Amino acid sequence: MNYGSASFLLSVFFIILLIQVLSYWQVFAKAGYEGWKSIIPVYNTYILTKIGSQPTWVFIMLFIPILNFIASLLIAFSVAKSFGKGPAFAIFGLFIFSFFGYMYLGWGDSE
């Protein structure tokens, strides 16, 4: 059996995961929160609602089907606004292409 391609894909997956974790860590640090909070799966989304100054009910909407789509958009808009970005960045950068959007927020010149 040849496990070369599987180990390559697994390595690429972990590299992408590491980049995503480091990006979130930087975003949280820029927003004034401890970076380790970005590692905890559900808690990091709660902190993102706080970064965007959203009420707690927006976070609760994430657990309700169909409403979670709206809540994700609200969080993306509010996080983009809190970093001085516009609605286009919220839709394309933080909602559709969130991997690249959070990298830009974390390592870019956003404050």
User: What are the pLDDT digits (tens) for 2-61?
Assistant: 667 778 889 999 999 999 999 999 999 999 999 999 999 999 999 999 999 999 999 999
The whole-number pLDDT of residue 109 equals 81
The whole-number pLDDT of residue 7 equals 83
Could you read off the pLDDT of 64-97 as tens digits, one per residue? 999 999 999 999 999 999 999 999 999 999 899 9
First to last CA, the chain: 50
In contact, 38 and 27? CB cutoff 8 Å: yes
Alpha-carbon gap, residue 36 to 3, rounded angstroms: 34
Task: Considering only residues 110 and 53, tell me which one the structure prediction assigns the higher pLDDT.
Answer: 53
In contact, 79 and 94? CB cutoff 8 Å: yes
The whole-number pLDDT of residue 106 equals 87
- Provide the 10 A C-beta neighbour count for residue 111: 9
Exposure b/e, 62-79, CB count within 10 A at least 16 = b: beeeeeeeebbebbbbbb
In contact, 78 and 84? CB cutoff 8 Å: no
Using the predicted structure, report yes or no on whether residue 110 has a pLDDT greater than 90: no
Q: What's this model's pTM, rounded to 2 decimal places?
A: 0.85
Alpha-carbon gap, residue 64 to 59, rounded angstroms: 10
